[in-house]
Homo-oligomer: A and B are copies of this chain.
Amino acid sequence: MKADILSIGTELIMGELVDTNAPYLAAHLPPMGIELQRITQAPDDLDSLVQALEQAFHRSDLILTTGGLGPTEDDLTREAIAQLLGETLHVDPQSLEGLKETFRRRGIPMPGGNVKQANLIPSARLIPNLLGTAPGWWVEKGGKIVIAMPGPPTELYPMWQTEVQPHLRLLAPETVILTRIVKTFGLAEATMNDMLLPLFHLPNASLGIYAQPQGIQLRIRVRAPSSDEAQKLVSPVEAEIRRLVGEYIWGADEQLLEEQIGKELREQGLTLATMESCTGGLLAHTITQVPGSSDYFRGGLVAYSNDIKIAWGVDPALIREHGAVSSQVAEDMARAARDRTGADLGIGTTGVAGPGELEGKPAGTVHIGLAYPGGILSFSRRYPQPRSLVKQRATTHALLELWRLLCRLRG
């Protein structure tokens, strides 16, 4: 089954909003044997939407749309699908009653605009929305399926999970597309490519390679009539990759560096603490994205000024001698993070997030300290601007070095 995703909203075309809905949906399709052809973002403009729908309708068996189901004047997804199929909108009485009931429960009168959310065409049935006022549409016509879902992720995710995915699965073909992602760091993309050259033209598996903030990733992709058979095609390719570049691999598939680290900390019975300056809390935030991280993450300090660094245990002599942006202070912050929290491992980050320079050191300068029972390490880098990217890169680098240390400690 071939599919298109259409994300609807002028805010996407104006660059005001990053489309995270399409990747969310896209990631669910391959295991169902659904092959995504294209993702499109189109503005809240009826002609544009109809053209985008027509092209997708021509290309694919299934179109998933998000957005444009709101109650406002510029929400035109229903109108566009009606025009695509040459059908006429009417207000569905039962749905209107449901909407009114929702507002009654909220204790506020229903704004007039919401009536359009009860609109329907003959080929469509409504998909309930438990978390908002915009029901989805499930449309079947001419052997094709169009599924319109709301844009806000809080409404889209539950609608997809409980109302759309289970029904789509029943229609799914007897083909499985299996993807295996192998995550590495420490090798350049082209070098990796050269080392894996023989794997690029295998008859039953395709290999992709691309750069991510957390390192180079490899994608093995196969198609087979069943999961078991797909797995049998993937395994030898993955084994060959591990033989060729195994020492650079840190994870696979949806594994995140912070999850891998959490697993290692848990297995080794170690706890962790952070003292951040230039990363400003992003390191603690990333670590605590992992469910259950409270088991091993003792706590974090964001020490954004020298006096706070000193109040939280950093040696003032080191700041005087080397400046706050120095590998010496990064190491001492790592040590202080351990001391302050009783954690086994401490990470310190100090640097110049930018855009301006600090202590005569250029924006992007970053020092990372890593304290553990056996000693203290530090790492220094200079990252390109903007500020947000410096924070991101420094955080990833700190996690990579921590993961590397944990692997060494495991022996």
Contact = CB atoms under 8 A, between A and B. Distances in A.
Given A194-B112, A302-B288, A304-B297, A37 B27 contact: no
Contact of A210 (B9, B19, B20, B41): B9
A300 B299 contact: no
A191 B70 CA distance: 12
Nearest to A271: B305
Interface string A209-223: 111100001010100
Contacts of A388: 289
Contact of A280 (B17, B29, B151, B287): B287
Interface in A373-405: 384, 386-389, 391
Given A111-B190, A355-B291, A387-B289, A27 B15 contact: yes
Contacts of A298: 304-305, 308
Number of identical monomers bound together in the oligomeric complex: 2
Contacts of A246: none
A301 B300 contact: yes
Contacts of A354: 291
A294 interface: yes
B288 A285 contact: no
A356 interface: yes
Given A26-B15, A300-B301, A303-B299, A281 B288 contact: yes
A29 B303 CA distance: 39
B219 A11 contact: yes
A70 B211 CA distance: 9
A73 interface: yes
A111 B319 CA distance: 43
Interface string A350-366: 00011110000000000
Contacts of A387: 289, 291
A305 B221 CA distance: 42
Interface string A168-203: 000000000001010000001111011001001100
A305 B301 contact: no
B23 A27 contact: no
A38 B27 contact: no
